């Protein structure tokens, strides 16, 4: 079975940046709480021409340039980012492929929200392993989720760190940094804990749902979510991280870089400490916030130049649904 590697990562972020002070003014959450507890100095905000497709295409071109490849070399374009896409019931992958000129590729769409990066790395690796005709997979994710926040809704305050941007990665057979394995856990008990609850078949969009502000993220029962999810989420993060490292014979404390999604500082620190990884080997996206599925790739891109042959890199994520995933790579 042929090895599959991560050859390059590209990122792109909108010019507009919303500071913690501005988020505080919009939400009523004190600035010091946002900085110290949310771990958020600010986040990028997409403009009127910045969609997951256009931002994703820009990140994709950066990744291809870094890999020394032409868009015509791409066999599969896979979208794995936010479901808050350009249009409702619409696929971003074909649009991205067209925007970058990947005319010889076919498109694959994944809807895995914040858990996207580790799962996309797994799916891309598995495609390359299973089909000898596929040599290059381009995974692309984007987030414009800042625009789906209602800052007056305190039920959704833990999502006020949601920001915008895009990331892409080139995966190739027998090239790059080896994607070793992925572990995933899903607990469907929390499937309805977080969503945009208007616009789907259960609650179709109407003038009333718009007037009532139902087309933003919401948490119908924060107390039930906290009492149900909080006791298990941390252990699920640790379980997938330890399982994927154990499978490769790697101790978590020996991981050279942990690239997790962005979450509140105390939870971040607890996970890092439980895994025994020094904090200087961990990315924390204080100036980006949480950008749906792309956070781990952004973290890797930020620290790419520090990694050395033989290093192990751990991507760690979770997403509404609820799923937790970890992917381990060897440099």
**pLDDT tens per residue across span 244-264:** 999 999 999 999 999 999 999
pLDDT at 148 over 90: yes
Residue 224: its pLDDT value, please?
A: 87
What does the H/E/C string look like for 104-172? CCEEEECCCHHHHHHHHHHHHHHHHHHCCCCCEEEEEEEEEHHHHCCCCCHHHHHHCCECEEEEEEEEE
Please confirm whether the linkage preceding 264 is cis (ω < 30° from 0): no
Backbone φ, ψ for residue 81 (5° rounding): -90, -155
How far apart (Å, rounded) are the C-alpha atoms in residues 131 and 113?
A: 26
pLDDT at 316 over 90: yes
Whole-number Cα distances in Å, 279 to 32, 177, 294:
22, 23, 21
How far apart (Å, rounded) are the C-alpha atoms in residues 197 and 212?
A: 12
Tokens of 31: 């600035």
Q: Using the Cα atoms of residue 185, residue 287, residue 146 and residue 71 in order, give the sign of their dihedral.
A: negative
Residue 131: its pLDDT value, please?
A: 96
In tens, the pLDDT along 177-233 reads: 999 999 999 999 999 999 999 999 999 999 999 999 999 999 999 998 889 898 999
Tokens of 180: 């070793």
Q: Using the Cα atoms of residue 271, residue 318, residue 299 and residue 23 in order, give the sign of their dihedral.
A: negative
Average pLDDT on 314-324 reads: 95
139: nearest Cα among 158, 161, 122, 153: 122
pLDDT at 321 over 90: no
Residue 257: its pLDDT value, please?
A: 98
Residue 255: its pLDDT value, please?
A: 98
Question: Which residues touch 140 (CB under 8 Å, ≥6 apart)?
Answer: 56, 57, 59, 60, 77, 78, 79, 80, 81, 92, 93, 96, 166, 167, 168
Question: Which residues touch 68 (CB under 8 Å, ≥6 apart)?
Answer: none
Residue 226: its pLDDT value, please?
A: 87
CA terminus-to-terminus distance, the chain:
19
pLDDT at 155 over 90: yes
Residue 261 DSSP code = P
Residue 112: its pLDDT value, please?
A: 82
Residue 11 DSSP code = E
Question: Which residues touch 222 (CB under 8 Å, ≥6 apart)?
Answer: 155
Average pLDDT on 300-324 reads: 96
Residue 162: its pLDDT value, please?
A: 98
Burial code (b: 16+ CB inside 10 Å, e: under 16) for 214-226 equals: bebbbbeebeebe
With cut-offs at 50, 70 and 90, classify the pLDDT of residue 326.
Answer: very high
Dihedral through CA 206, CA 207, CA 209, CA 210, nearest 10?
120
Residue 130: its pLDDT value, please?
A: 96
In tens, the pLDDT along 4-60 reads: 999 999 999 999 999 999 999 999 999 999 999 999 999 999 999 999 999 999 999
Name the β-bridge partners of 169.
9, 139
pLDDT at 111 over 90: no
Nearest-5° Cα angle at 160, 238 to 56:
80
In tens, the pLDDT along 57-107 reads: 999 999 999 999 999 999 999 999 999 999 999 999 999 999 999 999 999
With cut-offs at 50, 70 and 90, classify the pLDDT of residue 283.
Answer: very high
Please confirm whether the linkage preceding 322 is cis (ω < 30° from 0): yes
Name the β-bridge partners of 108.
78
157: nearest Cα among 37, 46, 17: 37
């Amino acid at each position: 079975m042929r090895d599959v590697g991560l050859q390059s990562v590209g990122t792109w972020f909108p010019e507009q940046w919303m500071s913690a002070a501005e988020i505080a003014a919009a939400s009523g959450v004190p600035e010091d709480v946002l900085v110290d507890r949310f771990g958020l100095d600010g986040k990028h905000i997409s403009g009127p021409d910045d969609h997951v497709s256009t931002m994703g295409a820009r990140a994709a071109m950066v990744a291809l340039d870094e890999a020394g490849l032409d868009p015509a070399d791409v066999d599969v374009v896979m979208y794995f980012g936010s479901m808050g896409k350009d249009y409702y019931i619409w696929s971003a992958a074909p649009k991205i492929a067209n925007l970058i000129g990947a005319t010889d590729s076919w498109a694959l769409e994944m809807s895995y929200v914040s858990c996207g990066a580790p799962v996309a790395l797994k799916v891309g690796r598995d495609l390359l392993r299973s089909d000898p005709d596929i040599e290059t997979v381009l995974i692309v994710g984007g987030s414009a989720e800042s625009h789906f926040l209602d800052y007056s809704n305190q039920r959704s305050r833990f999502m006020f760190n949601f920001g915008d941007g895009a990331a892409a990665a080139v995966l190739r057979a027998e090239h790059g940094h080896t994607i070793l394995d992925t572990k995933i856990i899903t607990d469907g008990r929390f499937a309805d804990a977080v969503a945009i609850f208007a616009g789907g078949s259960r609650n179709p969009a109407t003038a009333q749902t718009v007037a009532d502000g139902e087309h933003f993220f919401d948490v119908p029962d924060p107390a039930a979510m906290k009492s149900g999810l909080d006791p298990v989420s941390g252990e699920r993060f640790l379980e997938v991280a330890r399982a994927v490292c154990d499978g490769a014979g790697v101790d978590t404390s020996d991981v050279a870089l942990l690239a997790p999604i962005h979450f509140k500082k105390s939870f971040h620190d607890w996970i890092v400490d439980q895994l025994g990884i020094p904090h200087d080997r961990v990315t924390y996206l204080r100036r980006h916030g949480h950008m749906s599925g792309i956070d781990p790739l952004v973290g890797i891109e930020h620290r790419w130049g520090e990694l050395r042959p033989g290093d192990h890199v751990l991507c760690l994520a979770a997403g509404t649904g609820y799923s937790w995933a970890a992917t381990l790579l060897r440099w």
